[in-house]
Amino acid sequence: MQQGRQQLHDQAVFQQQKVALGLTTVADELRELAHNSGSDTVGELTRQGADQLHQFASWLHDREPSDLLEEVRLFARRRPGVFLLGAALAGVVAGRLTGAGVAATRQPDDNRSAAPATPPAQQVTSSDSSAAKPSSEPTERESRYPDDDYSYSYADRPVTW
Protein backbone atom coordinates (compact mmCIF):
# COMPACT_ATOMS: atom_id res chain seq x y z
CA MET A 1 0.00 0.00 0.00
CA GLN A 2 2.83 2.37 0.89
CA GLN A 3 4.61 1.57 -2.38
CA GLY A 4 1.45 2.43 -4.35
CA ARG A 5 1.15 5.76 -2.57
CA GLN A 6 4.80 6.53 -3.26
CA GLN A 7 4.36 5.74 -6.94
CA LEU A 8 1.26 7.94 -7.09
CA HIS A 9 3.15 10.77 -5.38
CA ASP A 10 6.10 10.38 -7.75
CA GLN A 11 3.81 10.47 -10.77
CA ALA A 12 2.03 13.58 -9.46
CA VAL A 13 5.37 15.34 -8.87
CA PHE A 14 6.57 14.36 -12.35
CA GLN A 15 3.41 15.62 -14.06
CA GLN A 16 3.43 18.83 -12.03
CA GLN A 17 7.06 19.52 -12.96
CA LYS A 18 6.26 18.74 -16.60
CA VAL A 19 3.41 21.28 -16.60
CA ALA A 20 5.62 23.87 -14.89
CA LEU A 21 8.32 23.35 -17.52
CA GLY A 22 5.76 23.68 -20.32
CA LEU A 23 4.43 26.93 -18.84
CA THR A 24 7.99 28.26 -18.51
CA THR A 25 8.59 27.47 -22.18
CA VAL A 26 5.41 29.28 -23.22
CA ALA A 27 6.37 32.26 -21.04
CA ASP A 28 9.81 32.41 -22.66
CA GLU A 29 8.23 32.31 -26.12
CA LEU A 30 5.86 35.13 -25.13
CA ARG A 31 8.81 37.18 -23.94
CA GLU A 32 10.53 36.62 -27.28
CA LEU A 33 7.34 37.64 -29.06
CA ALA A 34 7.08 40.78 -26.92
CA HIS A 35 10.70 41.63 -27.66
CA ASN A 36 10.13 41.33 -31.43
CA SER A 37 6.76 43.10 -31.37
CA GLY A 38 6.43 46.23 -33.48
CA SER A 39 3.76 47.76 -31.25
CA ASP A 40 4.72 49.18 -27.87
CA THR A 41 1.30 48.53 -26.32
CA VAL A 42 0.98 44.95 -27.58
CA GLY A 43 4.61 44.25 -26.69
CA GLU A 44 4.16 45.57 -23.16
CA LEU A 45 0.94 43.58 -22.59
CA THR A 46 2.60 40.45 -23.95
CA ARG A 47 5.62 40.97 -21.71
CA GLN A 48 3.40 41.42 -18.65
CA GLY A 49 1.49 38.24 -19.53
CA ALA A 50 4.77 36.39 -19.95
CA ASP A 51 5.98 37.62 -16.56
CA GLN A 52 2.75 36.51 -14.86
CA LEU A 53 2.93 33.12 -16.55
CA HIS A 54 6.56 32.72 -15.54
CA GLN A 55 5.70 33.57 -11.91
CA PHE A 56 2.89 31.01 -11.92
CA ALA A 57 5.18 28.35 -13.43
CA SER A 58 7.77 29.08 -10.74
CA TRP A 59 5.12 28.89 -8.01
CA LEU A 60 3.87 25.58 -9.41
CA HIS A 61 7.39 24.19 -9.62
CA ASP A 62 8.11 25.00 -5.96
CA ARG A 63 4.99 23.31 -4.53
CA GLU A 64 4.31 19.74 -3.51
CA PRO A 65 1.22 18.12 -5.06
CA SER A 66 -0.52 18.01 -1.67
CA ASP A 67 0.07 21.77 -1.25
CA LEU A 68 -1.36 22.39 -4.69
CA LEU A 69 -4.42 20.29 -3.90
CA GLU A 70 -4.97 22.23 -0.68
CA GLU A 71 -4.73 25.53 -2.58
CA VAL A 72 -7.38 24.31 -5.03
CA ARG A 73 -9.65 23.24 -2.16
CA LEU A 74 -9.31 26.63 -0.47
CA PHE A 75 -10.04 28.44 -3.73
CA ALA A 76 -13.11 26.28 -4.33
CA ARG A 77 -14.41 27.18 -0.87
CA ARG A 78 -13.75 30.90 -1.33
CA ARG A 79 -15.14 31.20 -4.87
CA PRO A 80 -17.27 28.16 -5.76
CA GLY A 81 -18.85 29.72 -8.87
CA VAL A 82 -15.51 30.60 -10.43
CA PHE A 83 -14.15 27.17 -9.51
CA LEU A 84 -17.08 25.36 -11.15
CA LEU A 85 -16.84 27.54 -14.26
CA GLY A 86 -13.11 26.85 -14.49
CA ALA A 87 -13.66 23.12 -14.00
CA ALA A 88 -16.30 23.08 -16.74
CA LEU A 89 -14.04 25.02 -19.08
CA ALA A 90 -11.12 22.68 -18.32
CA GLY A 91 -13.38 19.70 -19.07
CA VAL A 92 -14.43 21.13 -22.42
CA VAL A 93 -10.81 21.88 -23.36
CA ALA A 94 -9.69 18.42 -22.28
CA GLY A 95 -12.49 16.84 -24.30
CA ARG A 96 -11.59 18.84 -27.40
CA LEU A 97 -7.91 18.01 -27.07
CA THR A 98 -8.66 14.34 -26.53
CA GLY A 99 -10.95 14.24 -29.56
CA ALA A 100 -8.34 16.00 -31.69
CA GLY A 101 -5.67 13.59 -30.48
CA VAL A 102 -7.79 10.56 -31.34
CA ALA A 103 -8.59 11.95 -34.78
CA ALA A 104 -4.92 12.70 -35.43
CA THR A 105 -3.80 9.19 -34.52
CA ARG A 106 -6.48 7.41 -36.54
CA GLN A 107 -4.82 5.37 -39.27
CA PRO A 108 -6.31 5.13 -42.78
CA ASP A 109 -5.90 1.35 -42.73
CA ASP A 110 -8.38 0.77 -39.90
CA ASN A 111 -11.30 0.11 -42.33
CA ARG A 112 -11.92 3.80 -42.85
CA SER A 113 -10.66 5.81 -45.75
CA ALA A 114 -9.00 9.17 -45.23
CA ALA A 115 -11.66 10.87 -47.37
CA PRO A 116 -15.35 10.31 -46.69
CA ALA A 117 -16.80 7.40 -48.63
CA THR A 118 -19.19 8.37 -51.38
CA PRO A 119 -22.16 6.06 -51.74
CA PRO A 120 -23.06 4.97 -55.27
CA ALA A 121 -25.34 7.42 -57.00
CA GLN A 122 -28.54 5.70 -58.07
CA GLN A 123 -28.61 2.03 -58.86
CA VAL A 124 -29.61 1.33 -62.42
CA THR A 125 -32.22 -1.34 -62.91
CA SER A 126 -33.28 -2.87 -66.20
CA SER A 127 -36.78 -1.40 -65.91
CA ASP A 128 -35.50 2.17 -65.51
CA SER A 129 -33.82 3.08 -68.79
CA SER A 130 -33.84 6.84 -68.10
CA ALA A 131 -31.43 6.45 -65.18
CA ALA A 132 -28.74 5.04 -67.47
CA LYS A 133 -28.75 8.12 -69.71
CA PRO A 134 -26.90 11.23 -68.60
CA SER A 135 -29.37 13.83 -67.47
CA SER A 136 -29.17 17.48 -68.45
CA GLU A 137 -31.28 18.41 -65.42
CA PRO A 138 -29.50 20.22 -62.58
CA THR A 139 -28.60 18.20 -59.52
CA GLU A 140 -28.09 19.12 -55.88
CA ARG A 141 -25.93 17.51 -53.24
CA GLU A 142 -27.74 15.31 -50.74
CA SER A 143 -25.96 14.83 -47.39
CA ARG A 144 -26.02 11.52 -45.60
CA TYR A 145 -24.34 9.86 -42.59
CA PRO A 146 -23.38 6.41 -43.92
CA ASP A 147 -19.88 6.37 -42.43
CA ASP A 148 -18.94 4.96 -39.03
CA ASP A 149 -17.28 8.22 -38.03
CA TYR A 150 -20.37 10.30 -38.93
CA SER A 151 -18.55 12.21 -41.64
CA TYR A 152 -20.63 13.68 -44.44
CA SER A 153 -20.91 11.82 -47.69
CA TYR A 154 -22.76 13.19 -50.67
CA ALA A 155 -24.69 11.80 -53.60
CA ASP A 156 -26.18 13.72 -56.53
CA ARG A 157 -29.91 13.71 -56.89
CA PRO A 158 -32.14 15.53 -59.35
CA VAL A 159 -33.54 18.88 -58.27
CA THR A 160 -37.31 18.82 -58.05
CA TRP A 161 -39.06 22.08 -58.92
Structural domain for 45, as ranges? 9-84
Per-residue pLDDT of 5-47, as tens digits, reads: 899 889 999 999 999 999 999 999 999 988 887 778 888 899 9
Q: Which residue has the higher pLDDT, 138 or 26?
A: 26
Closest CA to 31 of 49, 13, 19: 49
Q: What amino acid occupies position 25?
A: T
User: Would you say residue 45 lies in a domain?
Assistant: yes
Cα separation, 11 vs 1, whole angstroms: 15
Asked if pLDDT for residue 146 goes beyond 90, the answer is no
By CB neighbour count within 10 A (0-12 exposed, 13-18 middle, 19+ buried), where does 98 fall?
A: exposed
What pLDDT does residue 97 have?
84
130 assigned to some structural domain: no
How many other C-beta atoms can be found within 10 angstroms of the C-beta atom of residue 126? 6
Best-predicted range by mean pLDDT (65-69, 109-113, 122-126):
65-69
| Number of domains present in the structure of the chain | 1
In a domain, 117, yes or no: no
Instruction: Note whether residue 71 is domain-resident.
Output: yes
pLDDT at position 150 over 80: no
In a domain, 15, yes or no: yes
Q: 32 with 47: CB under 8 angstroms?
A: no
Is residue 114 in some structural domain?
Answer: no
In whole angstroms, what is the distance from residue 75 CA to residue 69 CA? 10
Higher pLDDT, 160 or 129: 160
With 70 as the cut, is the pLDDT of residue 144 above it? no
Task: Give which of 23, 28, 22 is closest to 36, Cα–Cα.
Answer: 28
Whether the model clears a pTM of 0.85, i.e. scores above it, the answer is no
Evaluate whether residue 89 is within a structural domain. no
Q: State the pLDDT at residue 73.
A: 94
In a domain, 95, yes or no: no
pLDDT of residue 136: 56
Angle between helices 80-105 and 65-78 (to 10 degrees): 130
How high is the pLDDT of residue 108? Answer: 58
